[in-house]
Amino acid sequence: MLSVRNLSVTFTLYAVGLTQRELTVITDLDLDVAAGEVMAVVGASGSGKSLLAHAVLGILPPNATVSGEIHFKGDLLTPARQTALRGKEIALIPQSVNYLDPLARVGPQVRRAAYLNGQNKRVATEAQARVFKRYGLAQRVAQLFPFQVSGGMARRVLVSTAAVGHADLLIADEPTPGLHPEVVQETLRHLRELADEGKAVVLITHDIEAALQVADKVAVFYAGTTVEVAPAADFAKGATTLRHPYTQALWRALPQHEFVALPGAQPSPDALPPGCLFANRCPLVTPACQTARPALRPLRSGLVRCIHA
Amino acid sequence: MLKGEQLAFRYGADKPWILHQIDIEIAPGEAVGLSGPSGQGKTTLAKVLAGYIKPTAGHVTVARQPLPIRGYCPVQLIFQHPELAVNPRWRIDQILHEGFSPPIALLDALSIDSNWLTRWPHELSGGELQRLAVARALGPGTHYLIADEMTAMLDANTQAQIWQVVLAHARQHHLGLLVISHEAPLIKRLCDRVINLPFPTAPSILPTG
């Protein structure tokens, strides 16, 4: 369904006066998502998770330069095709209520999403009522403005905007933080159902635990690149089954495991090291790591970008 | 002791109660979890306890004294979204030093880079800003810390890092913690006891219409 190869995103910024500087925020990123599959994308903030979604949808700001290839349903996803498919075959479940129009009631906004999807007004109204029912939203919620709905309700409204249409690829950008476990489970279950209906779902999240409940595979991002793609089942088996030292550190940091943090921070995008992007925090680092970027290679039915794994 | 007695709150006389007859106590050195579905008033309770909003009825006391109206509040509140908790027109340096000057050891423990100090809030990520918000709240005058979904938007590693610093600081300075979270493993890891909303004693306070 979706195949991303060697994606890089660079922003050109003005530093002082007319001098420009470049920030590479995504470097050599690879990702494959098949129909009927939930691919979780996990990683720290600033690891390029949301930018990947924006790159696939073609909604990056004009000062961004994209290189590499994105294929959707076997064909190259060009900017023209992105514009044509966005909101129809590819839908986004956005990160926050800020993506809604603050001055419009939420019901009409969901109806509008269905309408833009090619449904006529009557069908769109029915679809909106059905999707609200599906996500446990009372009909009176449709009359509220975005600022009047609670955080949990807002999430369900956002899921509704994407589920109301007939998209084949759904990109959910952090659909669950700050929600009560039952609501999280429900939202995730709906994503799973959408995948089981044959759609491809990309679940972007920092919440590994939530991701594991529904994902088939987990892609771990670090500093704008894919460091590991692992079957979700590997996370249940413990840190040693995982391939990349960063993934292992994430696993250990979970409150139900060791709750220990790896010191340090991701490299800044304006000062990326020439070698492995994780080298400055890696317990396994050797001089070879600091000279060249490791390639993504297959390992134990997953992929890893590390020469020591 | 941070104590809320018979707390009630609503936005107007014709609006439904968001909080009604709530009693809550947090002892120094204690970590209390607060959990419950969204829309039950967890954040409103946090705002009332930290003095951000005045309760419609009831009162909040710290060591038997009402919350101070001016000056540094002994109850500090950290929100889920740090980008909304900082002044976008202030540089990081100014934001960090609004209440007091955090010691270098605290900044190092939170991996706050000195390069950030000259930047603007929009140039930092949520995880980076949240570390600043934590450093800013752990002043010498802080006796109670309320973390309202403080790490819900952060990755596991940053979450562990921030909480380890907060726990160490709380132990050292005998702070009382109120941890609002939906994440059961996190609450289990951090807290001595857990309060679940809605309170069993509270009448139905949700709008029925």
The answer to whether A267 contacts chain B (CB < 8 Å) is no
Structural contact between residues B197 and A302, judged by C-beta atoms closer than 8 angstroms? no
What pLDDT is attached to residue B127? 85
**A41 - beta bridge partners?**
A204, A219
Residues A151-155 have a mean pLDDT of 77
The answer, for B93 touching chain A at a CB cutoff of 8 Å, is no
CA distance readout (Å), A193 to A36, A215, B128: 9, 12, 35
Residue A49: per-residue pLDDT: 86
Instruction: Tell me the two tokens of residue A282.
Output: 């890696």
Which residues in B17-150 belong to E strands, given as ranges? 19-26, 31-35, 57-62, 65-66, 75-78, 144-148
Tell me, yes or no, if A118 comes closer than 8 A to chain B by beta carbon: no
- pLDDT given at position A177: 66
Find the helix or strand (DSSP H, E) in which A21 lies.
Answer: strand A20-33
Task: Tell me, yes or no, whether A247 lies in a domain.
Answer: yes
Q: Which residue in chain B is spatially nearest to A139 when comparing CA positions? A: B209
Q: Is the predicted pLDDT of residue A102 greater than 50, yes or no?
A: yes
Q: Which residues contact B101 (CB under 8 A, 6 or more apart)?
A: none
**Is this prediction's ipTM beyond 0.90?**
no
Distance from CA of A55 to the nearest CA of B (A): 19
A140 interfaces chain B, CB cutoff of 8 Å: yes
Q: How many domains does chain A fold into?
A: 1
Q: pLDDT truncated to tens, each residue of chain B (209 aa)?
A: 999 999 999 999 999 999 999 999 999 999 999 998 877 889 999 999 999 999 999 999 999 999 998 889 999 999 988 999 999 999 999 999 998 999 999 999 998 988 899 999 998 888 889 999 999 999 999 999 999 999 988 889 999 999 999 999 999 999 999 999 988 899 999 999 999 887 655 444 444 33
Q: Is B160 in contact with A261 (Cβ distance < 8 A)?
A: yes
Residues in chain A with CB shorter than 8 Å from the CB of B42 are: none
Report the pLDDT averaged over residues A194-204.
92
Whether residue A226 has pLDDT greater than 70: yes
Would you give the DSSP letter of residue A147? G
Q: What is the pLDDT of residue B208?
A: 38
User: Is-cis flag, bond preceding B198, omega within 30?
Assistant: yes
List the B144-148 sheet strands across, edge first: B75-78, B144-148, B176-180, B31-35, B193-196
Q: Is residue A94 part of a domain?
A: no
Based on its alpha-carbon atoms, the radius of gyration of chain A, rounded to whole angstroms, reads 20
Q: What is the pLDDT of residue A190?
A: 83
- Give which of A199, A206, A200, A201 is closest to A178, Cα–Cα: A206
DSSP A50-69: HHHHHHHHT---TTEEEEEE
Nearest 10 degrees: CA dihedral of A155, A157, A162, A166? 140
CB B85 within 8 A of CB B52: no
Cβ of residue A265 closer than 8 Å to a chain B Cβ: yes
What average pLDDT is seen over chain A?
Answer: 89
Q: What is residue A118's predicted lDDT score, i.e. its pLDDT?
A: 83
Q: Is residue A278 part of a domain?
A: yes
Q: Domain residues for A251?
A: 2-89+167-304
Structural domains of chain B, ranges and CATH numbers in brackets: 29-54+72-194 (3.40.50.300)
Nearest to B182 among A140, A181, A254 (CB): A181
Contact A276, A282 (CB under 8 A): yes
Give the CATH number, domain containing residue A221: 3.40.50.300
Q: Which residues of B touch A263 (CB under 8 A)?
A: 111, 161
Least confident interval from A11-15, A110-114, A182-186: A182-186
Q: Provide the pLDDT confidence category of residue A166 given band limits of 50, 70 and 90.
A: confident
Q: What is the pLDDT, as a whole number, of residue A13?
A: 83
Residue A101 included in any domain: no
Whether A103 is in a domain gets the answer no
CA distance A242 to chain B (A): 16
Q: What are the tens digits of pLDDT across the range A54-83? A: 999 999 989 999 999 999 999 999 999 999
CB A36 within 8 A of CB A11: no
Are B44 and B204 contacting, i.e. CB atoms less than 8 angstroms apart? no
A/B interface, count of CB pairs below 8 Å: 101
Q: Given pLDDT bands bounded at 50, 70 and 90, which one contains residue A108?
A: very high
Closest alpha carbon within chain B to A205: B155
